[in-house]
Structure 1
Amino acid sequence: MTDSPCALSDGDPRELPGFRRTYASGRLTLGLGFPLRTRADLDEVRDPTVQAKIARAAEAGGVAALYARDIPLRVPSFGDVGQVYDPWVFLTHIAAHTSRIALGTAGIVLPVRHPLHVAKSAASLDRLSGGRFLLGLASGDRPEEFRAFGLEQGERGEQFRENLRVMTHALTTEMRGIRWPGGWMHSADVVPKPTATSVPTIMIGSCQQSVAYLAAHGDGWMTYPREFDAQRRTVAHWRAMVAAHADAGAGDDGVDDGGVFKPFAQSLQIDLAEDPDEMASPITFGFRIGRRRLVDHLEDLRGIGVNHVQLSLGACRRPVREVIAELAEHVVPRFPALD
C-alpha cells in the first residue's frame, strides 16, 4: 500500500482488509444486503442514521460484508428501488460509522456509468474505507434505465466490456492515455489511485459475459441461488475457468494470476422463521426457513465450494434488529468473518 493517493501501489488487492475479511478458500462467510429492513419494520428504519446503527450491530455480530445495490432510476413496474441513496455516497456514510466490516456494491451498473467516474469513485471509497471496499459490477436489467442513458439494452454486454477495460486502465496506470469509442484521455490521469494495484472486483450475475470472461477479469464472482445440484455444477465450472485462466499465465491485463484463489459467492433471500427447526419452503430467490435448517443449508453450500452468501432480509416477517440478533447469536458463529 502507498500513502500517496496519486501514486500506484504494488499491493495485492486480495490482501486488502475487505477481501481478507470476506473470502478464503474452503471457508464460507455471510454478508447482508441493504436496506437493512424487513416488511415488519416501520418507515423510520429507512433513515440513513438508523441504517448505520444496524450496520454496526451486524459488524459487531461477525457479519463479513454489507452490500449496496445500484439502481439508478426508480421504475415502479419493478417494485424495488434498493436502498434509494446513491451507492457511492451511501457506502461512504456507512464507512464513517463502521470500522471493520467489508463494504461492497452488488453491483454498479457499469454500462450506464462513465468508466472514469467509476474508477475515481471506486478508488476514493477504497481509500476512505481503509481498503474495506469490494467493487461489485453488473450489466443491469431494467430497460427503462438503458433508454434513459441513451443505450440499447442489447448493447449492454459489449458496453460492459468496453467500460471495464477503460476503468481498469484508469485504476492501474499513471498518466497513460487511452482512446475508446466513448472518449479519449490523454495528458491527464484519474486520481486517487487504489490502495493496492487495483480495487477488488467482484462480478455480479452474468454481466452478459461468459464464465471464462468473468474468471479472467474479476477477483471473484457472485451469482444467484440455484437448485443444489445445479449450483454444484456452477461452482465446478467457475473453478475450472479460474484454473484455465491461471494455466494460461498472464491475462490481457498483463498480470500473471497463476494459482490465485478467486471466490464463488451467491445471494440468498430468507424469511427467518420463529421456529428454529422450520423446514425450508421456497420464496423468490430463497426460502422461508428456521435458523437450524439455514445452518444446514449453508454448511451444504460450503461443502460444494461456495465461499460467501449475501443474505437479503427484505422478505422477513420479523423486525430486522430481531433477525440480525438471532443470526448473530446462532448462525454467524458457524460462518464468521475472517478477521
Structure 2
Amino acid sequence: MNAPLDRLTQGGFSIGIEAPLDNDWTPAGDRARRMAGRLPGEPDLQRHAALAKLADQSGFRALWVRDVPLYDPSFGDAAQVFEVFSYLGYLAGVTRDILLGTAAVVLPIREPLLTLKSAATVQRLSGNRLLLGVASGDRPVEYPLFSRDFESRGSHFREQVELLRHGGTATLPSGLAVLPKLQQPLPLLVAGLAQQRPEWIGEHMDGSLAYPGTPDDHRHRIAAWRAVAGAKPYISFIHLDLAERADEPMQRWRFGFRGGRDALIDELHALREAGVGHIGLHFRRNQRPLDETFHEIAEYVLPLFHTQSTDTRVPAVETFHV
C-alpha cells in the first residue's frame, strides 16, 4: 500500500470533510444564494480557503472534492464549482497535512495523458497527498459535448486506469514522457463499479468510494467488497447537520442525519465496527456556522478515532505563494 492510503487508514478508521465548504442547502443558505444571484446548487466560496486551512489545522484526515464538469439544472448541484485538478493544486498550496481526494474524477470524458499529467502535478505539489478517486460517470448529457461515447465509457475507463498505472510509458513513442513523473503509484479509489465486473474492480482498484448509507447498508456492501478486494479500504460519506445540543437524538434522512455530537460519535463507532475505513463529512445541510462545527468535532470527536499521525509525505519540490 502507498503512503497516502497508509495515512488515510492509519488506526483503522479516520474522518475527513467533503467540499464544498458551505452550508448552502439550509434555508438560510438558500436565502443567501438567492440574494447573491447564484444558481441553485451553486455554493458560496468566499470562505473556502479559510475553512480548508481550518480543516487541515483541526486534524481532519482528508478533504474530498467532486468532479462536475458541467452545471446541469436538472441535477441542481454544481459541486465545488472549480475544475477539480486546478482546485486541488490551489488547496495543496493553502494546506499542509490534510490528504486531498477526488470523489471522483470522471475518466472517460477526459483526455488521458492530460489527466495523468494533472494527477502527477498535484501529487508533486502537495507532497504526495493525492488520493485519486475515479469513476465512469453517470450523466449522459455530458458525453457528446466532450465528443465521447456514453455507451463505451466502461472500456475507456479500463484503458485510462491502465495508463494511470504505468505512467504513460506503454502509450508514448520512445523518448517521450509525461512530466512530472509519478513519485509513486497513484492510489486509485473507485466510485461504484464504473461499468466493470466486481472481480475486475477488486483486482485493479486500491479502494472503494461508496454511497452514503446506514451502518447496516455498509455492512452488506462491505461483505461484497471484501469478497473481491480483500482488506482494501472502504470509504463513504455522511451528509451531516450537527445540532448544538450534544445529546440531541438522531433524525435520519437520505444520505445522512441531523443530531448532536453524541449521535455522531455513536454512528461513527457503528460504521467503524461495520468495516468502514474512512468517513467524509458533508456539511451543506449543516445549519450552524462551519467553523464552529469544525471546532466541536475536532475537540470532542476526532480524538476518539484518530491515532497520533505519522508524517509519511514526500516533501514537495515546488512552493506555492498564496
Where on the TM-score scale, by shorter chain, does this alignment land: which range? 0.7 to 0.9
1:252 match: none
Higher mean C-alpha deviation, range 135-144 or range 123-132: 135-144
Determine if the alignment matches structure 1 residue 242 to structure 2 residue 229: yes
State the percentage of identical aligned residues.
Answer: 39
Matches within 5 A, 1:126-165: 126-165=123-162
Shift in Å, 1:80: 0.5
Does the CA-based 8 Å contact 1:206-1:223 persist in structure 2?
A: no
Task: Give per-residue Cα distances to partners, 1:46-84, cap 9 Å, x unaligned.
Answer: 346x31211111112110000111100111111101111
C-alpha change, 1:210 and 1:294, in structure 2 (3 Å) is farther
Residue among 83, 86, 98 paired with 2:83: 86
1:216 to 180, 203, 223: 203
The ranges of structure 1 where at least 4 consecutive aligned residues each deviate by more than 6 angstroms after the TM superposition are none
TM-score by length of structure 2 reads: 0.85
The answer to whether the aligner puts 1:28 opposite 2:13 as a matched pair is yes
Give the AA of the match of 1:284. Answer: R
Q: What is aligned with 1:246? A: none
TM-fit CA distance, 1:288: 1.5
Render the CA deviation track for 1:195-253: whole Å, top value 9, x for unaligned.
11x1111112222223322221111111012343332121122122123xxxxxxxxxx
Equivalent of 1:193 in 171, 181, 203: 181
2:232 corresponds in structure 1 to 262
Please identify, of 132-141 and 224-233, the stretch whose mean Cα deviation from structure 2 is larger: 224-233
**One of 307, 317, 339 as aligned partner of 2:287:** 317
Per mean C-alpha deviation after superposition, the further-off stretch among 288-297 and 223-232 is 223-232
Gaps of 5+ in 2: 37-42, 311-322
Correspondence for 1:298:
268
CA pair 283-123 structure 1, distance change in 2 beyond 3 A: same
Give CA deviations for 1:109-145 in whole Å, capped at 9, x if unaligned. Answer: 0010111111111111101101111111011122221
**How many angstroms apart in 2 are the aligned matches of 1:160 and 1:195?**
23
The residue aligned with 2:56 is: 59
Does the 8 Å CA contact 2:167/2:182 hold for their aligned counterparts?
A: no
CA distance in 1, matches of 2:252, 2:193: 23
Q: Does 1:203 align with 2:190?
A: yes
Asked whether the 8 Å contact 2:15–2:61 carries over to 1, the reply is yes
Report deviation, 1:104.
Answer: 0.8
1:283 corresponds to which of 253, 257, 260: 253
Alpha-carbon distance in structure 1 between the residues aligned to 2:198 and 2:259: 31
Q: Deviations over 1:170-196 (max 9, x none)?
A: 35x4xx4x3xxxxxx323222211111
In the alignment, which residue of structure 2 is the partner of 1:95? 92
Whole-angstrom distance in 2 between the partners of 1:317 and 1:230: 26
Counterpart residue identity of residue 302, structure 2: V
What code does the residue aligned with 1:238 have?
W
- Structure 1 position 333, deviation (Å): 1.7
CA RMSD of aligned residues (A): 2.0
Match of 1:4 in 2: none
SS at match of 2:108: helix
| Residue in 1 that maps onto 2:213 | 226
Amino acid at match of 2:132: L
SS at match of 1:67: strand
- Judge conservation of contact 2:64–2:103 (CA < 8 Å) in 1: yes
Q: Which amino acid aligns with 2:228?
A: M
Task: Give the TM-score normalised by structure 1.
Answer: 0.81
- Assess if the C-alpha contact under 8 Å between 1:19 and 1:102 holds in 2: no
| Letter aligned with residue 334 of structure 1 | L
User: Which position in structure 1 is the counterpart of 2:300?
Assistant: 330
For residue 241 of structure 1, give the secondary structure of its aligned residue in structure 2: helix
Query: Which is further off, 121-130 or 322-331?
Result: 322-331
The amino acid that maps onto 1:136 is: G
**Distance in 1, Cα, partners of 2:145 & 2:249:** 44
